[in-house]
Structure 1
Amino acid sequence: MQDFTLDDLRRVMRVAVGVDDSVDLESDISGLEFIDLGYDSLALLEIISKIEKEYGTAIPEDLVPELSTPGKLAGYVRGRLSGAVAP
């Protein structure tokens, strides 16, 4: 079984769209909104696309608004990879 941690998400965020110099991704970002971290909806879609390709799991587009924080997104992906979240 493959896991998906907040550190995995941080790496994907850096690779997919980079990081604003004013944002400290190493702090506890789990509850912060992506928009507050400098990632707009287009950037979030890039991050999701990278996750889907790298981890081989789909994230339905209609769920994207609900996955508005790194903690929610990481938890969803972790659930998909463990089979706890239905496709």
Structure 2
Amino acid sequence: MADFTLTEFKSIVDACYEGAESENVQESTVDTEFSELGFDSLVVYEIVTRIQDDYGVTVPDERLDDLKTPAALIGYVREQLSAA
């Protein structure tokens, strides 16, 4: 089973968004809202789409509204992977 950690999240960010501020996402900032990290909703959607494609998990749009931080999204993806 694949794992999904901060490292994988940052790789996805780099792959999706050239010049993205993936360096802004560190252990100390994973609980910071995406908007405060400089990621608008379109960028977050693009990141989630890439995660879904690469990891075979589904993040429903209505659930995405609750996943406001990298930590929340990483945790959700890890839950989905462990349930698979």
* Paired residue type of 2:81: L
Give, in whole Å, the separation in 2 of the partners of 1:20 and 1:78. Answer: 23
Give, in whole Å, the separation in 1 of the partners of 2:10 and 2:62. Answer: 23
Residue 27 of structure 1 and its aligned partner are, at CA, apart by 5.0
The equivalent residue for 1:79 is: 79
After TM superposition, the score normalised by the length of structure 1 is 0.85
Which residues of structure 1 form unaligned runs of 5+?
A: none
Residue 26 of structure 1 and its aligned partner are, at CA, apart by 3.7
Q: Does 1:10 align with 2:10?
A: yes
Residue 2 of structure 1 and its aligned partner are, at CA, apart by 1.6
RMSD over equivalenced CA pairs, Å: 1.8
Query: Which secondary structure state, in structure 2, belongs to the residue aligned with residue 72 of structure 1?
Result: helix
Q: Work out the percentage of aligned pairs sharing the same amino acid.
A: 35
Residue 14 of structure 1 and its aligned partner are, at CA, apart by 1.3
How has the CA–CA distance of structure 1 residues 5 and 37 changed in structure 2, closer, same or farther, with 3 Å as cutoff? same
Residue 61 of structure 1 and its aligned partner are, at CA, apart by 0.6
Which residues of structure 2 form unaligned runs of 5+?
A: none
Aligned length: 83
The equivalent residue for 1:30 is: 30
How has the CA–CA distance of structure 1 residues 3 and 20 changed in structure 2, closer, same or farther, with 3 Å as cutoff? closer
Give, in whole Å, the separation in 1 of the partners of 2:2 and 2:35. Answer: 28
After TM superposition, the score normalised by the length of structure 2 is 0.88
Deviations 1:22-52 (A, max 9, x none): x533452210100111111111000000000
* Paired residue type of 1:35: S
Q: Which of structure 1's runs of 4+ aligned residues deviate more than 6 A?
A: none
